[in-house]
Structure formats: C-alpha cells, structure tokens
Amino acid sequence: MNELGFDNEQDVAEAAPRRDRSGRKHKSEDSGWVAKLKKNVFMAFLIDLIVIVAAALILSLLVKTFLVRSFFVPSGSMLSTLQLQDRIIVNELVPSLVPIEHGDVLVFKDPGGWLGPEVSTQAKNQNAVEQATEWFLSAFGLAAPDSSQHLVKRAIGLPGDRVACCDVNKKLTINGVSIDEIYLDKGVEPSASQFDVTVPANKLWMMGDNRLSSADSRFHTDLPSKGFVDRSYVVGRAFVVSWPINHWRWLDNFSSVFKDVPKPQN
C-alpha cells in the first residue's frame, strides 16, 4: 500500500486481455479477411471505386427523379430552336414548384391522340434484354428511351388566355395584344390556319416553333381535349441543349416577347 492507503498494483481486469464469456480473447477489428483486404492495395482501390460509383449512381437517381431529366428531341417540330435528336435537360420542378410562364419550352406526355399508334408499339418490339438495359440506364439519367413518347412545344397560352391568329399584321394575339415571335425562323408566319381559343383552367395551348410542320394544339381541336394540354401532363421545362456539344446553349423563354401581354380578364 502507498502512503494514501491504495494499492499500486495494476488492476487485474485492466491488465489481462479482455475475454468473452467463453473465456476466449476478442479478435481485433483488423484481424481476419478484413485485414487482408486492407493490406491488398488493389482490393482497397477496388472497394473505394465501387463505393464512389455506387454513391454517384444513387445521387444521379435522386437528381433524375426529383430535379432534372434528360430527353432526346424526337421530331423537327421545334426547328430551328431545337434540332432533331438534340439532347435537352429538363427542369422537373416545373410546374410542381416553379410556375409555367409564356414562352417556356415544355416537355409533356401525350395528352391522348397526338402521337401515332406506331409510337406506343415501339417498346413492345424490344426484347427483354433491351428493355431491361434501357430501364436501368434511364433510371440513372444515362438514357431516355421514352423520349419518342413525349412532345416538346412552346407554351403560348396559359389558363384564361385568349389566343387568336391572326391580326391584320399576320401576328398572333394573346388577350388582344399582338406579339412579335422572334424565336420563329425569318419569314415564317405564326400559323397558316386561323383559330381563336380561350384556354381553360389548368390547361395550356402549346405550339411548336416550326409552325409549318408542327402537329400542335392547332391540329388536335377535334379531340376530347380540344387541343389543350392539361398541366398534369407536363414533365418539366427544357432549359439547356446539352448534346451535341456544338449545339450547346440555354433555352430562352423570350420573356420580352410576352412582356406586354395583359392578364386574362376572366
């Protein structure tokens, strides 16, 4: 005993190796196959690589599901703004969190009867391996196999708007105000056919920039939807052309074109 009356001898429980109830010593964390893997430089690198790739794929899946998505332009209805097979990035926060504005380039699902029956049968003609591969790649935004089942047009009429074509100057009017559609190719008229519509609540009047070759709202007024696109069919707003590189650019909604358009009266 020391002068304070305590024994200097080390506690037996602390000095002796820890044992489990069976009397065997605990193995350290770095023992066994884990330690062998850590000591193998190649395996350690492979494990790190797998973790990084898995994290990147999960992040890509989350982004694709909630934020942005990639599509291929399936037709020439938006020429010359968009070229056939351009790859576009779509903001999926529109319209769930961000409101749709005049001039937005929107990707939307077929409201019914806009696309030919051959489009719906394309997926059926693929074998199981092709379908599974495309599903996996599309889940992470690496492919857009359903692009041909969507449409890309510009939002011209919003709920309540009265859209008509054309005035004495051969210009489109919205709520009685004519607009100068500078996104159309030079010399292209707003529409070869006359129309005068009022957009119902939660609907949109969509038109392609290639007015001479765009089967848009004007050509589907005989359908039950009367040519209008329900807001619920909108996937999002296209905001950039990402591929090919020489086509890269931001997609403008040309707010200056619509700045003088008044609010609908009704």
- pTM of the predicted protein model: 0.72
Q: Which domains does the chain have, with CATH numbers?
A: 68-257 (2.10.109.10)
pLDDT given for residue 15 in this prediction: 45
What spatial distance separates the first Cα and last Cα of the chain, rounded to whole Å? 98
pLDDT given for residue 70 in this prediction: 85
pLDDT given for residue 147 in this prediction: 73
Rounded Cα–Cα distance for residues 81 and 78 (Å): 6
Q: Alpha helix locations (H) across 16-171?
A: 32-39, 41-66, 117-120, 128-139
Tokens of 211: 């007015």
CB 245 within 8 A of CB 218: no
pLDDT given for residue 59 in this prediction: 64
pLDDT given for residue 52 in this prediction: 80
Contacts of 239 (CB under 8 A, 6+ apart): 89, 90, 91, 105, 250, 251
Cα 246 off chain centre by? 21
Burial per residue of 147-168, b for 16 or more beta-carbon CB atoms within 10 angstroms, e otherwise? bbebbbbbbbbbbebbbbbbee
pLDDT given for residue 14 in this prediction: 45
Rounded Cα–Cα distance for residues 135 and 241 (Å): 23
Tokens of 175: 């709520």
Among the listed residues 56, 85, 77, the one whose alpha carbon sits nearest the alpha carbon of residue 153: 77
Tokens of 52: 């990084």
pLDDT given for residue 46 in this prediction: 79
What are the backbone angles phi and psi of residue 225, rounded to the nearest 5°? -75, -10
DSSP string for residues in 210-242: -GGG---GGG-TTSTTTT-EEGGGEEEEEEEEE
Rounded Cα–Cα distance for residues 201 and 199 (Å): 7
Per-residue confidence in pLDDT tens, the chain, 266 aa? 444 444 444 444 444 445 445 445 444 444 566 666 667 777 777 777 887 877 766 666 655 655 788 888 989 999 999 999 899 999 999 999 999 999 999 999 999 999 977 554 454 555 665 555 555 555 555 556 667 889 999 999 999 999 999 999 999 999 999 999 999 999 999 999 999 999 999 999 999 999 999 999 999 999 999 999 999 999 999 999 988 999 999 999 999 999 999 999 86
